[in-house]
Amino acid sequence: MSKKVAIVGAGISGLSCAYFLSEKNYNITVFAKDFSPNITSNRAAAFWFPYHIRNDKRGINWCRHSYNFYEELSKDANTGISMKQLIKVLRDGVVEEEPVWIEFMPPGACKIIPQDELPPGVFKTYEVLVPLIETQLFLPYLQNILLDRNVVFKQKAINNFNELSSFDVIINCSALGARELCNDKTVIPVRGQIALIETDTSRPVYLDNEMPLYLVPRKDAMIVGGTYEENVFEEKTEPATIERILNIAYKTFPELKQQKVIGSWAGLRPYRNEVRVEHEAGTNIIHNYGHGGSGFTLAFGCAEEVLRLTENIK
């Protein structure tokens, strides 16, 4: 008989686990307080880039695995995933542990732009080929695949794992919900605010952590980010902050002033010093939460690990 698996959470962490488990002989129910589009995963930028994870070497395999997975999916336009050029800028005088993130890159995905081609104030620029995951397209795409595979979705807040005692395995992908569900206060919100302007998909993804500034040209809008606000629990934007973000963008790229501002949003990254991917000893619970600003970058690698842990629970 197939094992009954409960997944708590319907963000990218929960859905990616459901994706791999549903390829095997499991009977899966996803429980979530909220579904797309009302979750953090919809607020992500979401380009593949290791962020918040660089000190955790387990992340190298997880990131690379996800990269390869998205690259394969990018061959089908319906997924909302495309391979995009990303320009990563380091400014003069900034000491960054830049070689660390390079270790996470698949071989050949990254090159350094020659010094004589750099604009003033810029110390080093990398050109990287990365997957861009348009959350507004990919999350519904993924959910539809799972429905076709008979995964059951139930809107329900889980307050205690005992509520899921009829399941053989529980996979906890509750992100910030783990603060209450597991009493794990080491997972904290890191708020990100972003502005949306009219898009120009001919532009590359642009990332300058010192300004800070990132530009993500999706099909529906260009994301202009953003903030990194630790321990802020209010999932809302502040007009003055959005104006500041736009002014930073205009300073670097004055031509963007021509593009109409069409919105803004805020999301809470579920940050933890280390992503928690483990089987809790003596229980049937596997945890998969705390992916911070790299939830999409890590998702399918972590989901592979969760599949392996699930197969080991007898």
Ligand X SMILES: Cc1cc2nc3c(=O)[nH]c(=O)nc-3n(C[C@H](O)[C@H](O)[C@H](O)COP(=O)(O)OP(=O)(O)OC[C@H]3O[C@@H](n4cnc5c(N)ncnc54)[C@H](O)[C@@H]3O)c2cc1C
Is residue 175 part of the contact set for ligand X (CB under 6 A)?
yes
Smallest distance, Å, CB 92 to ligand X? 25
Among residue numbers 263 through 302, which ones bind ligand X (CB under 6 A)? 267, 269-270, 289, 291-297
User: Measured from the CB atom, is 12 or 307 closer to ligand X?
Assistant: 12
Give the pairing of strands 213-217 and 222-225. antiparallel
CB distance 297 to 270 below 8 Å: no
User: Measured from the CB atom, is 139 or 256 closer to ligand X?
Assistant: 139
Nearest 5°: CA angle at 231, between 225 and 232?
Answer: 60
d(CA 196, CA 218): 10
Smallest distance, Å, CB 27 to ligand X? 19
Is residue 131 part of the contact set for ligand X (CB under 6 A)?
no
User: Measured from the CB atom, is 32 or 285 closer to ligand X?
Assistant: 32
Among residue numbers 212 through 251, which ones bind ligand X (CB under 6 A)? 225-226
User: Measured from the CB atom, is 92 or 244 closer to ligand X?
Assistant: 244
Coil, strand, or helix at residue 214? strand
Among residue numbers 145 through 164, which ones bind ligand X (CB under 6 A)? 157-158
Is residue 34 part of the contact set for ligand X (CB under 6 A)?
yes
Smallest distance, Å, CB 48 to ligand X? 6
284 contact partners, CB below 8 Å, separation of at least 6: 167, 168, 169, 170, 313
Region near ligand X per CB under 6 A, out of 18-26, 33-41, 196-204, 278-286: 33-41
Judged by CB under 6 A, the residue of 7, 17, 28, 44 near ligand X is 44
CA dist list (Å): 13 to 16, 160, 194, 219: 5, 20, 22, 24
d(CA 178, CA 299): 17
User: Measured from the CB atom, is 85 or 115 closer to ligand X?
Assistant: 85
d(CA 199, CA 263): 12
Is residue 79 part of the contact set for ligand X (CB under 6 A)?
no
Beta bridge partners of 190: 230, 269
Amino acid letter at 132? L
Give the pairing of strands 222-225 and 188-197. antiparallel
Smallest distance, Å, CB 205 to ligand X? 9
Residue 181, phi then psi, degrees to nearest 5: -60, -35
Footprint on this chain of ligand X (rule: CB under 6 A) = 8-14, 31-34, 39-41, 43-47, 157-158, 173-175, 177, 181, 192, 194, 225-226, 267, 269-270, 289, 291-297
